[in-house]
Chain A
Amino acid sequence: MTLLAIENLTVQFPTRHGPFTAVKDAVLTVEPGQIHGLVGESGAGKSTIGAAIMGLLQGAGHITDGTVALKDTTISGSDEAAMRAIRGKRISMIFQDPLTSLNPLFTIGDQLVETITAHLRLSPSEARDKAIALLDRVGIQDPRTRIDQYPHQFSGGMRQRVVIALALSSEPEVIIADEPTTALDVSIQAQILDLIKALAEEGGVGIILITHDMGVIAETTDVVTVMYAGEVVETGPTAQVLGSPRHEYTKSLIAAVPRPNRKVHRFPQISYGGRATRFDIDDLASNWPKSETSEAPLLEVRGITKHFSSNAAILPWNRRYFTAVDDVSFEIRQGEVFGLVGESGSGKSTIARMIAKLYQTDGGEILFNGKSISESADSTYRRQIQMIFQDPFSSLNPRHRVADIVAEPALHLGAIPKSEIKGRVEDLLEKVGIGADAGSKFPHQFSGGQRQRIAIARALATQPRFLICDEPTSALDVSIQAQILNILKDLQDHLGLTMLFISHDLPVVRQMCDRIGVLRNGKLVEVADTEALFSKPQHAYTQELLSLMPKTDLLSDAALD
């Protein structure tokens, strides 16, 4: 019997410009013991479905059409009291961020016992025994001691286990997991997904797994529903949908996922919803200053080191330091893309900032074109290096107009006479596919992908030789990521730009880089050509990182060839 059935669900939010339809005519079913993946890019309406099932829509959002049924009972449209009897009791929810999901002022035992006694007729001591059993079940060591601890005494992964224990405490029939692993490191992500799989298999719980990550879908779910702009575009068994997608959107989505096991020349641009925009590289290349070709490396990093103080004590002898970058050396050749990979805190961004002269080095030196950057004239050096940042929502000043943003580096560094700047800015905006009239608008009028194009235009305005890309796509949806990566590849091919490409995402790095350096705790553990690194990793840490990459074997390769 179907456990949870959603029929023609439509959810609207009233706004200043009329009602906004977040979900339209969605259909979805969950069977006992099944993991149903709900995948889509940001704004697709997947989290709204989760909230609508729970009756926890934000603000004035409401279901305008359709039903949600749990077994034989229709639960949508129930009053608050009836919903409370279902919410948490028969349907539970797991949120994205385990650091904020638990009340910091209560022990986890308090929170568990409170939830258990709210739903089951148990005495306090029975509830406590059950709480200990639950903690044991979700894999928390020594539950008898840890039950009396506060959330801040647990690590992120352990807290997500506690959150799952809380979701299980009423013995629910359905669990809705909304991006349950997005905030976690890769190694912990795998453990939490295993736990969720075990709940479905052993407990017969039906699970809706909401995620943007195709890798998570491929590895975890039985059935998948793909959403785009509030509508369900395709649904079916996971292997079938991923292996032979029928809908154009699904095809474009799958084609945009970077594969860990092969390098593509360019991501196929299957345009859907008119979002792919042209990038006019040939025209740009004809006006680009020819860079001298030489065999000497463009950038040499020699034994650089950086310390940070970990507390701001006023007395010097009370200060503590840790080493963020420890004696790192590498070189980047003319026209090459060099990748730096590592987990958060490995020091990769710190290295980029030292190269960009945002931080001083505490030891070692950096040579650009054979000259130490601490000695070469500041503006000459800065004109030749530019940077593309991670988050296009924070890298453009919201109070400045786009034209001013793009013009600022070139003007400030004197790369172009003031009289010519307007023409160059309009030209660049045209070429990156935003259009010259964008110059008079403000950043908030653009989407994430468009903003990243503006950021690229800004970086190109000084006609640099060297580009630092610091996680340039990790804040973007996968289809936008494919577009931006294609642009960066074009820049490198046609303009002969040399790049430092920083990422935590190995499949992306494989698509982009010629050579890769692996960082761990501030030390460079391995440097190798990309193909050699992926086929024969030398260092144990590199091997471990590679083994944690998502398996995308299920995904269709059709569009890539």
Chain B
Amino acid sequence: MISFVLRRILQSVIVLLTVGLVAFSLFRFVGDPVENLLGQERTVADIERVRDQLGLNDAFPVQYFNFIKGIVVDGNFGVSFRQGRPVADIIIERAPATLELAFVSGLFAIILGISLGVYTAINREGWISSAIMTLSLVGVSLPTFLIGILLIYVFAVELGWLPSFGRGETVQIGWWSTGFLTASGLKALILPSITLGLYQMTLIMRLVRSEMLEVLRSDYVKFARARGLSQRAIHFRHALKNTLVPVITITGLQLGSIIAFAIITETVFQWPGVGLTFINAIQFVDIPVMATYLMLISVLFVAINLIVDVLYYIVDPRLKSDASSGAN
């Protein structure tokens, strides 16, 4: 177990260093950082001074090492070209909004996705299942931004029940600003969460359904039926547990992508999160913000991957008993 986790952590570090290299190359080669810092009025001496300050005259590996060291030791992600503030500050300020949104919609997607997936797999022939499956295809075909616009039009413009943009009132707890503690904050969460979660929910539901159908066709389920076990035991004990093994992996990845898809939702709802910051950074080629976003999101994905692997290890006995299998 420990060697397994250690091996995975080592792999994760390699992935992170690779992403760091991509981010650094972005930083270094896309656009000219000196030009971005100095603006129009500059002399050759200015350029040389700034190049020296930034370490741009060092060898590439040295620059890369200093870049990684700056991040790990000092949390120094550079300064936004556009806002002139340290990127770390901008991200910390914006992160709670995105994380709260992702949390609520992730919960929504997993709970509804798994239950509907199991329901449609078990009642394969029923008309409710067919209706759900057809609707789910509509869900996959509807781009997230359209769902958002639709919801805004119905619930904010026509009915006027819910706000069409922003987070509502937030409460500051230390550096974290939360929308969970005020009525307007909670109301403001509803539409963006549905918008963001709907697509993921459809994917999870379709995945659970197809995995479960696969398991229901397997020999051990046929044998369980031939042994006269009840439908309940077959569906919820045998089939569900075997379905969960592959579902865990993909659901983990889906949750990671919620943070990325938040970019769209945040744009539609003008939600003051990290995604909105990122899209603005792309518009204005604000490389430090882009690079930081990329690195943070990879840390998140790698962490999720690690958790998924460990969960996998816990659920599937075939992985952990290499040592005791010689007993035949």
Question: Which residues of A approach B to under 8 Å, CB–CB?
Answer: 54, 56, 84-89, 92-93, 95, 97, 100-107, 114-115, 118-119, 146, 149-150, 152-155, 158, 163, 166-167, 169-170
Contacts and interface: CB of A to CB of B under 8 A. Distances in A.
B241 interface: yes
Contact of B223 (A85, A105, A163): A163
9 contacts: A84-B230, A87-B227, A88-B226, A102-B220, A103-B220, A103-B224, A150-B317, A153-B321, A155-B328
Given A103-B220, A153-B324, A153-B328, 9 more contacts: A87-B225, A87-B226, A104-B316, A104-B318, A105-B315, A115-B228, A118-B233, A154-B328, A163-B223
Contacts of A102: 220, 223
A56 B230 CA distance: 14
Nearest to B328: A155
B327 A56 contact: no
Interface string B206-249: 00000000000011111111111110010001100110010000
Contacts of A163: 223
Interface in B20-58: none
A104 B223 contact: no
Contacts of A119: 228
Contacts of A106: 238, 241
A95 B219 contact: yes
A103 B218 CA distance: 9
Main SS at interface, chain B:
helix
Contacts of B220: 100-104
A150 B230 contact: no
A383 B49 CA distance: 74
Nearest to A112: B227
Given A118-B230, A153-B321, A155-B328, A101 B237 contact: no
Given A105-B317, A150-B318, A155-B328, A115 B227 contact: yes
Contacts of B321: 149-150, 152-153
B325 interface: yes
Contacts of B318: 104, 150, 152
A513 to B, nearest CB: 35
A144 B16 CA distance: 48
Given A114-B233, A152-B317, A153-B325, A103 B238 contact: yes
A146 B324 CA distance: 11
B229 A54 contact: no
Interface in B265-281: none
A105 B245 contact: yes
Nearest to B317: A150
Contacts of A85: 228
A170 B219 contact: no
Given A152-B325, A153-B325, A153-B327, A104 B317 contact: yes
A58 B48 CA distance: 78
Contacts of B328: 153-155, 158
B316 A56 contact: no
Pairs of residues from A and B, 7 with the lowest C-beta to C-beta distance, nearest first: A88-B228, A100-B219, A88-B227, A93-B226, A87-B228, A103-B220, A155-B328
Contacts of B241: 105-106
Q: Which of A89, A101, A105, A150 counts the most chain B CB atoms within 10 A?
A: A105
A301 B66 CA distance: 62
Contacts of A152: 317-318, 321, 325
Contacts of A150: 317-318, 321
Contacts of B223: 93, 95, 101-102, 163, 166
Contacts of B225: 56, 87
Contacts of A86: 228
